[in-house]
């Protein structure tokens, strides 16, 4: 084919698939994490109602609240990007709140 | 920040579409107006959450799995809580036959995909301005009523 058409192929290194469906957040032990109860309540309420802007606002607060909060917020970002509300609720169900 | 952005900031818009990429584009576009965005991946979810979040405007895809946009809109209009919430339909291409259905099912406007940012902003802003004016008129009417009762 190359000779027949006189083409020069350019080869590129395969780029990792970062498609939203394949984004797999790193595994965390959620039962070890503690976050403030008011943030947990805010995040859960917003998620149940699919309120994206509210969820993002809550995640920003969570990120600044503590090391646990930051780890959880970073983890949940991948679920928000997929609009996976059930996934977020499932994780929130495992997390401790003060 | 423009006057329009300041005026509309915080108003609530519900995006109903089963394609996350479409939600991404609309969300990004509408966030430039400072709007508060919610989403629903199906008509069923929209019918469940709309009466609870009370959006100021709903952008509703026509072709969705389960109940389609037209039926979703009819059911929203049949609900006392959501009947006056304006609905703008979104579709890959609104055919002539569909245009009539857009309005007969209770929609106020439609947007074609692929989205043109300027068009989305113009149509959504125009509709939200009307909603805001109506809300302000209702508030003023209530205040006048209270003043009349006192005097």
**What are residue B100's phi and psi, to 5 degrees?**
-60, -40
A37-48 and A52-65 helices cross at what angle (nearest 10)? 160
Of the candidates A20, A52, A82, the beta carbon closest to that of B38 is on: A52
The confidence score (pLDDT) of residue A17 equals: 47
- How many angstroms separate the CA atoms of A16 and A25, rounded? 15
Give the separation between CA A28 and CA A77, rounded to whole angstroms: 14
Burial (Cβ within 10 Å: 0-12, 13-18, ≥19) of residue A86: exposed
By the 8 A CB rule, do A29 and A55 touch? no
Give the CATH number, domain containing residue B53. 3.40.50.2300
Which of A20, A51, A82 is the closest to B53 by Cβ? Answer: A51
| Chain A neighbors of B32, CB-CB under 8 A | none
pLDDT digits (tens, 9 = 90+) for A22-59: 555 556 777 778 899 999 999 999 999 999 999 999 99
Note whether A82 contacts B20, CB cutoff 8 Å: yes
Q: B2-10 long-range CB contacts below 8 Å, 24 or more apart?
A: B4/B33, B4/B125, B4/B129, B5/B32, B5/B33, B5/B34, B6/B34, B7/B129, B7/B132, B8/B33, B8/B34, B8/B35, B8/B125, B8/B128, B8/B129, B8/B132, B9/B33, B9/B34, B9/B35, B10/B34, B10/B35, B10/B36
State whether residue B41 sits within 8 Å of chain A by CB.
Answer: yes
Mean pLDDT, chain B, integer: 93
Domain coverage including residue B108: 3-150
Q: Please choose, from the candidates A51, A33, A52, the residue with its C-alpha nearest in 3D space to the C-alpha of residue A92.
A: A33
The ipTM value here is 0.88
Is B121 within 8 Å of chain A by CB? no
The tally of domains found in chain B comes to 1
Whether A84 shows a pLDDT value over 80: the answer reads yes
Residues of chain B with C-beta less than 8 angstroms from the C-beta of A53: 31, 35-38
User: Average pLDDT, whole number, for chain A?
Assistant: 82
pLDDT of residue B96: 81
- To the nearest 10 degrees (0 to 180), the angle between helices B117-150 and B20-31 is 60
The sign one gets for the Cα dihedral B91, B12, B41, A27 is positive
Question: How far apart (Å, rounded) are the C-alpha atoms in residues B74 and B148?
Answer: 38
Percent of chain B whose pLDDT exceeds 70: 96
Question: Which stretch of DSSP H or E encloses residue B15?
Answer: strand B12-16
> Using the beta-carbon criterion (under 8 Å), do A52 and B41 form an inter-chain contact?
no
Measured CA to CA, the distance from residue A73 to residue A4 in angstroms comes to 55
**For residue A70, what pLDDT is reported?**
93
User: What integer pLDDT is reported at residue A96 of this predicted model?
Assistant: 76
Sign of CA dihedral B117, B122, B124, B128: positive
**Residue from B110, B53, B108 nearest B82 by CA:** B53
Q: What is the rounded CA–CA span in Å between residue A58 and residue A32? A: 20
What are the sequence ranges of the domains in chain A?
Answer: 36-98
pLDDT at residue B92, rounded to an integer: 86
Give the separation between CA A93 and CA B141, rounded to whole angstroms: 46
Say what the pLDDT of residue A34 is.
84
Task: Say how many CB pairs under 8 Å bridge A and B.
Answer: 30
pLDDT above 70 for A10: no
Q: Tell me the longest C-alpha to C-alpha distance in chain B.
A: 57
* Residues on chain A touching B52 (C-beta within 8 angstroms): 49
């Amino acid at each position: 084919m190359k000779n027949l058409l006189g083409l020069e192929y350019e080869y590129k290194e395969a780029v990792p698939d970062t498609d939203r469906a394949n984004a797999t957040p790193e595994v965390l032990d959620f039962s070890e994490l503690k976050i403030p109860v008011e943030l947990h309540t805010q995040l859960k309420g917003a998620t149940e109602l699919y309120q994206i802007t509210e969820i993002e606002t809550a995640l920003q607060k969570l990120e600044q609240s503590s090391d646990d909060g930051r780890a959880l917020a970073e983890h949940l970002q991948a679920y928000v990007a997929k609009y996976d509300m059930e996934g977020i609720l499932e994780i929130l169900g495992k997390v401790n709140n003060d | 920040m423009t006057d329009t952005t300041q005026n509309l900031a915080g108003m609530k818009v519900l995006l109903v579409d089963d394609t996350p990429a479409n939600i991404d584009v609309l969300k990004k576009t509408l966030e430039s107006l400072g709007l508060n965005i919610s989403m629903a991946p199906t008509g069923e979810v929209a019918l469940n959450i709309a009466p609870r979040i009370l959006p100021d405007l709903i952008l509703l895809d026509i072709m969705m799995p389960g109940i389609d946009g037209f039926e979703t809109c009819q059911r929203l209009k049949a609900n006392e809580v959501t009947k006056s919430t304006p609905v703008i339909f979104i579709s890959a291409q609104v055919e002539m036959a569909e245009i009539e259905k857009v309005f007969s099912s209770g929609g106020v406007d439609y947007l074609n995909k692929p989205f043109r940012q300027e068009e989305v902003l113009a149509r959504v802003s125009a509709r939200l301005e009307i909603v805001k004016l109506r809300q302000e008129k209702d508030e003023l009417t209530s205040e006048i009523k209270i003043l009349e009762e006192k005097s």
